Chains A and B, each alone.
Chain A
């Protein structure tokens, strides 16, 4: 079955529900059920946080290494270099989000202009 398989106006919404909403939401529900009996100071939660953090880190890497849309037109070296510069500045200057953003964005656009 495809997005345009049926003419009914509600079909695309059902398609979105089946293909997008449920496969995403089901993991949240499983998470709620699994964490139900784990106590708040359990060591298991350190493992869970480590896995969650590593997953988010892999998403971050994908957004920089294999971006979609406009960012994909920027050279690889510019994207990675700007991200590294921004993160180093963040670590050196009080771990402020604002510093990371400004340095990374300035580096990104400067790199783009120079290439």
Chain B
């Protein structure tokens, strides 16, 4: 790199979209993610996680399934070497998610370190919301939009889960259940709308059906297998369908 990085990234990206990403904190997906962390704040407290540890782990781990495995592992006294593979297995999906997002947000001059840095903010909600909004955003604005949205969500979820932890806030069971229920419904509806090709709808249906079915066979890795089998099957359908349509 011959030029200063600051001027480099200034000309590559349109940072006015960072603020517009942050403004998405007042969106339905943001509200749903914040609700999920209301539950997590309480869970962490029950597991004996201190406020400082909670504030540290929310934005650094930044994937709710990993959070849940980590905290329940700590609560159950599971050794470090057993928690690592469990978390790693649950987080494999970050790899294809990252590979799907990067081509949406990079610009021709993007350096690897820009992408490595923002990749740390990838989690389902910000990922999905950005892929959905990307077509409406000029390419230089996409990475800043993602960073702005994911960044404000990191702050908001840390504050909210910290508050719940500190106040020992408890809510009636039906309220908590209704809050938890928002997340799967949002993920389902949003990934249906985000699909660009029919095969992704098929992948969604297959993954949903295979997940619980494979739990019977491979309870530790059912999500991973459902993703691989469902994803490859949907891609095979895509190849066959496009061959039929093509020359």
* A interface, over-half SS: helix
B112 touches A32 (CB 8 A): yes
Total interface residues on A, CB under 8 Å, equals 76
A95 to chain B, nearest CB (A): 6
Q: Is B116 an interface residue (CB 8 A)?
A: yes
Is residue B197 within 8 Å, beta carbon to beta carbon, of the partner chain? yes
Partner of B93 from A33, A59, A82, A87 at Cβ < 8 Å: A59
Complex: how many Å from CA A18 to CA B209? Answer: 33
Picked from B65, B100, B173, B204, the residue with its CB within 8 Å of the CB of A57 is B204
Answer yes or no: B12 CB below 8 A from chain A CBs.
Answer: no
Nearest chain-B residue to A100 (Cβ)? B189
Q: Is B169 an interface residue (CB 8 A)?
A: no
Measured between beta carbons, the chain B residues less than 8 angstroms from A68 are 43, 68, 72
Cβ of A60 under 8 Å from chain B: yes
Residues of B in contact, count (CB < 8 Å): 101
Identify the closest chain B residue to A73 (Cβ).
B173
List the one stretch of B2-10, B15-23, B177-185 in contact with chain A.
Answer: B177-185
B160 within 8 A of A: no
User: Which residues of A have CB within 8 Å of B197?
Assistant: 46, 49
State the 9 A-B residue pairs at the shortest beta-carbon distance, nearest first.
Answer: A31-B98, A57-B207, A51-B231, A55-B227, A54-B207, A54-B230, A58-B211, A70-B176, A61-B211
* Extra pairs beyond A32-B115, A55-B97, A79-B181 (16, CB < 8 Å): A12-B50, A23-B87, A28-B122, A32-B98, A35-B98, A51-B231, A52-B227, A53-B203, A62-B212, A70-B173, A71-B176, A83-B188, A101-B32, A104-B181, A105-B178, A112-B177
